[in-house]
Each structure stands twice: as C-alpha cells, then as structure tokens.
Amino acid sequence: MATKIPQGFSRRVPVSKPYLMTRNQALRISSSHFTQFMTKSTIYGVVVDMPMAPNVITTLACYINGAANLYFSNGNDYSGASQRYPGLVQAARAFVTNAANYLSDDNMADSLELPAGRVHYAYLLTTGGIHRIALSPFASNQDPAERVFMNMYQRVMNELRAAQMKDQAAGIDPKKAVIPNPKEEN
C-alpha cells in the first residue's frame, strides 16, 4: 500500500509545544500498558496525523484497549471519551486490530515526522517498532486496501464526533470527566 504524496498545501503547519509533547507521548507509549489486550498480534496502537487545513493538523491516537483521543496542533485535545462511550471503544479496538493487516517490512518508520500537504500519516505501533503508512484521502485512484484502512479510522472519528456532541449536550467537560479534581469535591 504505497501512495504517492499529493501536492497541495505543502508548507509545514505551525504546531504548539503542548501538541508536540502530547503527540510524542502517544507515539512512544510502551506496549507494556496493553499486553493484556494483545492476543493475536504485536500491534497495540495506531496514531494518524491528518492535515485538516493549511494551518491545522489533527492527530488521532487509538490503542488496542479501546482508548481513542484527538490532539490538535494548537494544543487542544479531546480525550477520555472512551470511558463513557462503548461504541467508541469498539470502533478503536476494531481499527487497531485490523491495522495489523497493513504491517510489512517495507513500511518501517525511520522518522516520526508530521505530514506536509494533504497526505495523512498513520503510525502503527508494534512491539517490533513503528511502521508508517502514507495515505492520500483525496486520490481518485486509491487502492481498495487503503480505502478500507481510511474508512476504519473515519469510523473512529465519527464515534468521537458523536461522543463530543453528547458530552456538549449533557454539559460534560471532558477534562473534568476524566480526572476529578479532589479540591473541587471538598
């Protein structure tokens, strides 16, 4: 599944320091946190960097335990929804499990760079190292395997959007829903 990198907005997107730190943590998380969930495969996570506009990158981080979080290049994030929404857990686990079908020796990552232009980079986290797949969401000649892979992470994105809308409707602040502040409880 090798995709030519399309041309388009190709200058680097400015990103915040908190975003870079969070993205690095998502890419470097140890597989030891997920061994109880890894039964048939050595893959434990997928991190997808998606340029959304000439000045915005969104990173989707999914793990085999069902966690799915979004990180934005301006430093904002949406995380913790997997603790409240089983549909999101199911979509994230299915995505990571099926991503094992895209592992090959040809796609070992030699760097963890952010994409430029419209290409999406998917980093497959395995116990044997990190693999990278370049995906072109706007290509008219996508191969079927690439289309399936992109549909899987779009399903996770749809679940995250639905969770975010439910949180907003219920007045849930995701930051407070994930880690309660003991000072506020007293």
pLDDT tens, position by position, 35-79: 878 776 789 999 999 998 888 999 999 999 999 999 999 999 999
Residues 85-95: what's their mean pLDDT?
97
**And the tokens for 137?**
């969401």
d(CA 56, CA 108) in angstroms, rounded, equals 26
pTM of this prediction? 0.86
> Percent of the chain at pLDDT above 70?
86
Name which of 6-15, 68-77, 92-101, 174-183 the model is least confident about.
174-183
CA distance between the termini of the chain: 55
List CB contacts of 79: < 8 A, sequence separation 6 or more. Answer: 69, 70, 71, 174, 178
